[in-house]
Chain A
Amino acid sequence: MSLELSQAEAEDFLIHDALLLDERRFDEWLELFADNGIYWIPSAGDDPDNDTSIVYDNDEVRRMRIRRFESRHNWSQDPPSRTLHTISNVRVEMSETGEPVVYSSQVIFAARVNHTSILPARCVHRLEQVNGSWKIALRKVQLLDPFQFMENLSFPI
C-alpha cells in the first residue's frame, strides 16, 4: 500500500471512523487506533501535560471508556446518547515525518433525553501505517468552543 493517502481514501477513513461511533460499534472503533494512539479533546490550551483536557485517552483509558458502556450501571448513558457526525472541508497534508495528517470540519450531533447537543469541531487525524493498514496515531477534536460548559460527553465523539 502506498504511504500516501489520497483525498478519497482520507474521506473514506473519516466516514468509517464516524460511522462506527454513530452506530455504537465501539469495539471496532478502538481497533482504528495504533497502540500508542491518542484520542484528545483539548479544553483551555494546547499543552496536554499542563492544560487540562476534556479527554486525553491513551489505549488503556480509551478501552476503559468503552468498557464502561458494557455496564448496566453507566447512568450517564442510561439511556444512551445517539450521535450523528457530518464531515466536510477535508484536506490531507503530510507531516514533517512523512505521515498523512487529515484535517476536517465536523459537526457532531448528540441526542439524549429529548435534547440534541450540537458540537462543531475542527478535527485532526494523524495516521500511520501498521501492517499495511492506516491506524490513528492522534485523533484530536478541536471543539469550536472548547471551554463551554457541557453536560455529558462520556461517549466518544
Chain B
Amino acid sequence: MGAAGSGSSALDDRPPSELVLDDRVHRSLYTDPRVFELEAQAIFERTWVYVGHESELPHPGDYKTAEIANQPIIVSRDELGELHVLYNRCPHRGTTVCEEERGTANFFRCPYHGWTFKNTGKITGVTLPDGYPDGFDINDYGLSPVARVDMYRGLIFASLAPEGPSLDEHLGRAREYIDLKLDAAPEGRYELRSPSRCYVGGNWKLQMENSVDGYHGTFVHQSFLNLQPRNLGSNQGVDVGRDYGAEQGLSVDLGGGHSMLDNRSRLGTIVTEFTKNRPGGAQYWEMLVARLGPERAQAAVEAGTDAINLEIFPNLVLIANQVRLVRPCAVDRTEIELYPLGFAGAPPEFEKDQLRVHEMRYGSAGFVGPDDLEVFRRVQRGLQAKAVEWVLFERGMHRTEKDHHGALVACSADEVPQRAFWREWKRLVELCV
C-alpha cells in the first residue's frame, strides 16, 4: 500500500473515514484548507478547548482575550469571582469590544457607538436610546456567552457546543495524570508564568503528533543532547549515541483522543536525585515529601519534569514543567504558547533554575524547540507532493497491548498516541459530516 496514487483532491470524493485508516492518514488532512475549516466546525466548535488558567485572572475584574477556532473571546472574572467566557463581539455591528491581551476592567465599551457591557456580558447602556422603539429590551443585547465553561485544577476550558460530554467526562483518564503533574507544586499551588511564543508554517496536528512522539528525540534533538547540559536531569547517564532509551518507556492511549508518553520506569530515581541536587532542590524535595509522602512525591517529580508528556485532545499538552497551547491559525500556520509553571512557596533559586531551563530548551530561541519547528516546516513542504498520499502511523501495532485499565499501550517510540489522536479526530469529524 505504499504505491503512489493519483493524488486527486481528497475531500471532493472521499469521506474522512477513508482518509483516516488504522495505520495511516491522508496527506490532505494537513494541507487542504477545507479540512482546516471542517476541523473548526467538527472539533474546535464542539469539544472542550483550553482558554486560560485561573492564575491569569486572579482578581475580580481581571480578564484575558483569546480565540477558539479564530473566534475572538474574552475570559473574565466578575465581581463575585465567577468566570465568564464571552464572544468578544458587540451585538450591534460586530466590533470587538476588547483589544488588550489582558487587563482589569469592570466594563467593556464598544469603540464604535459606545454600547457598554459589564464583565459578565450584561449590557448596561445603549447610547442615544431614542433611536430604538418602545419594546426594545436592551437586555437582549449583551455580549453572548459561549455555550459552556468549566475548570479542572485551575485549567479553564470552554465549549462552543451547548451539549456534549462534561469536562470531567471529556478529560476522563487524563485527569489522573494532570493531578500527578500538578502535584509537583510543593504547596499544591501553582500559576502560569508568561509564555514563550512560537509560530510555524505547518499544520497544527504536526505539533500535536510530535509532543507525544517518543521516537524522534535522538534524531531531531541530537545537537542538544550532544551538549550534555547540566540541567538535563532526565538524561543523565543516557548514552546519546544509542537510542536514548526510546523503547524502554511506554506510549499510552488514555481514551478520548488523550495520550501520554510515560518514561517513569525508564528513569527510576534518576530524576528525583537530580532534582534534589538542583539549586534549592533539597528544600523543594523536603516540602514535597512533607505534603505528599515520599512515594507520591517521587512520582510527582518524575511526572512534573520529563517522565510524562500528557496530551489533552485536541490542542493542549502538559510537558516538562509547562502548559503548551497549540493554536491553529490556518492550515499551514500554527501559533504555539508555552507557559512555564511557577510553584507557589518553592525556593526562589529553584524557581529561577526552572525558568532558565525552560528558556534554554523551549521557545523560538531554545535549543530543543526550534529543531522540532524546522522539522514541521519541512513536513509541510514534503506533504505538498500529491502523488505520495499517506502519512504512516503503524509503529508498534504488532506489539500494542492493553494494560489493566484497558488502555492501549506500547513502548514509548511507538505511535500509539498518534493513533489515539486520529481516532478521536475521525470520530468527531464523522459526527459532523
Contacts and interface: CB of A to CB of B under 8 A. Distances in A.
Interface of A: 41, 43-45, 49-56, 60-61, 64-65, 67-68, 71, 73-76, 78, 113, 147-154
- Counting chain A CB atoms within 10 Å of each CB, the highest count among B193, B340, B351 belongs to B193
Given A75-B375, A76-B374, A150-B199, A52 B220 contact: no
B4 to A, nearest CB: 26
Nearest to B221: A73
B367 interface: yes
Contacts of A54: 196, 359, 363-365
24 contacts: A44-B194, A45-B194, A49-B352, A50-B342, A52-B194, A52-B340, A52-B355, A55-B365, A56-B356, A64-B229, A68-B367, A71-B223, A73-B219, A73-B226, A74-B371, A75-B370, A76-B371, A147-B197, A150-B197, A151-B198, A151-B201, A151-B377, A152-B370, A154-B365
A125 to B, nearest CB: 19
Nearest to B339: A52
B205 interface: no
B226 to A, nearest CB: 6
Given A49-B352, A51-B193, A52-B358, A151 B200 contact: yes
A64 B197 CA distance: 22
A52 B193 CA distance: 7
A45 B194 CA distance: 8
B195 interface: yes
Nearest to A112: B374
- Counting chain B CB atoms within 10 Å of each CB, the highest count among A49, A55, A60, A154 belongs to A154
B222 interface: yes
- Counting chain A CB atoms within 10 Å of each CB, the highest count among B222, B358, B364 belongs to B364
A68 B370 CA distance: 12
Main secondary structure of the interface of B (DSSP, over half): mixed
B364 A150 contact: yes
Nearest to A55: B365
B196 A68 contact: no
Contacts of A113: 377
B373 interface: yes
B80 interface: no
Contacts of A151: 198-201, 364, 373, 377
Nearest to B355: A52
A39 B3 CA distance: 51
B374 A75 contact: yes
A75 B368 CA distance: 10
Closest 7 CB pairs of A and B: A44-B194, A71-B223, A76-B370, A150-B364, A149-B199, A153-B365, A73-B222
B307 to A, nearest CB: 23
B348 interface: yes
Given A51-B194, A149-B198, A68 B227 contact: yes
B286 interface: no
Interface in B182-206: 193-201
Contact of B348 (A49, A56, A67): A49
- Counting chain A CB atoms within 10 Å of each CB, the highest count among B198, B200, B371, B373 belongs to B371
B40 interface: no
Contacts of B375: 75
B433 to A, nearest CB: 32
B320 to A, nearest CB: 13
A61 B232 CA distance: 13
A52 B222 contact: no
B373 A76 contact: yes
B360 interface: yes
A3 B299 CA distance: 55
Given A49-B348, A64-B367, A75-B375, 8 more contacts: A51-B193, A52-B358, A52-B359, A56-B359, A75-B374, A149-B198, A154-B364, A154-B366
B371 A75 contact: yes
Contacts of A50: 193, 342, 351, 355
Contacts of A53: 359
A143 to B, nearest CB: 11
A81 B196 CA distance: 21
Contacts of B209: none
B274 interface: no
Contacts of B355: 49-50, 52
B367 A65 contact: yes
A92 to B, nearest CB: 28
B260 to A, nearest CB: 25
Contacts of B229: 64
A60 B335 CA distance: 30
Contacts of B157: none
B370 A154 contact: yes
A134 to B, nearest CB: 26
Contacts of A153: 364-365, 370
A43 B101 CA distance: 14
